[in-house]
Amino acid sequence: MSKALEEFFRTILPEDHILMEEPMERHTTFRVGGPAACFITVDTREQLAKVFSYLQKTGWDFFVVGNGSNLLVSDKGYRGVIVRLGEDFKQIRVNQDRLIAGAGAILAAAAQAAQQEGLTGLEFAAGIPGTLGGAVRMNAGAYGGEMAQIVNSVEVMGMDGEILQLDRETMEFGYRTSAIKNRPYVVLSAEMKLKRGDREDIARLMQELAGKRREKQPLEYPSAGSTFKRPEGYFAGKLIMDAGLRGKSCGGAQISEKHCGFIINKGNATAADVARLIRETVETVQDKFGVTLEPEVIFLGDFSG
């Protein structure tokens, strides 16, 4: 079956865009994860529509990945197709006070482009390591800013290849969620409405936020950023610290001593180590404080056993 899959992809994609049994540790910021049965990079909308059509007909599981910054892939791998958005989806352009970026554009690059054009409103995103598509899908945010505040419209593709324009209201943004999170749409691009500002002031704020990140977050280790969503009325990191879990380890995975909201890979962690530490952290905080922590991390593959 995988041979037929590979042969089909060869009819629409360059050979170097098709990787069989590709280790996912190369494509996640946790730097863990077993092999994907097939890992492809699509550069155009036409290619993407053909890929979706084929996957729908054949019933293969698939997952669209950005920078892998919010993803934990099982050590057993993923027995489906990983779809990465390539060149056409990385474009960033500015039209007056609007910044239009493809879903594959790194969020930090979009923030940099806004700064160079003297546009303010995207500074909060300068240190978020993910892509625009993932950021829109989960309404990413930091330091008081979030995508919901600036997204004007989102272009998505359905599994039938149809392209739709969704406005801000249709997106139903909420805390780390949106209307498309549980619907069969893939983000293609988004238009963000920003404001005119002073380039130097914008750069200064970005540097200030970058300094705060370096000071407070364990950026020197592989991680998926904040591991847990913020429970209403609480801060996840403080709950974890107050539960006495600072520095707790499972194999090579550790709750950061610098910021308890982060689980880090100390260098030799497995996905199973990370998953177990997440599970034990949730259980301990629930037992001690009656608060249920919900992971921000997406689990992909088989984590049983």
Q: Is 287 exposed, middle or buried (0-12, 13-18, 19+ CB in 10 A)?
A: exposed
DSSP structural state of residue 139: T
Cα–Cα dist 71/76, whole Å = 15
Q: Do 226 and 213 form a contact (C-beta atoms < 8 A)?
A: no
User: What φ, ψ does residue 66 adopt, rounded to 5°?
Assistant: -100, -110
What residues does 228 pair with on adjacent strands? 295
Q: Are strands 119-120 and 151-158 parallel, antiparallel or unpaired?
A: unpaired
Cα–Cα dist 243/228, whole Å = 15
CB neighbours of residue 290 within 10 Å:
7
User: What φ, ψ does residue 261 adopt, rounded to 5°?
Assistant: -80, -5
Q: Which residue among the candidates 176, 178, 189, 256 is catalytic per the annotation?
A: 176
- Helix or strand run (H / E) with residue 85: strand 78-85
Q: Are strands 253-255 and 249-250 parallel, antiparallel or unpaired?
A: antiparallel
Active site residue 53: no
Q: Which residue among the candidates 178, 189, 226, 256 is catalytic per the annotation?
A: 226
Active site residue 117: no
Q: Do 64 and 51 form a contact (C-beta atoms < 8 A)?
A: no
Q: Catalytic residues, which ones?
A: 176, 226, 296
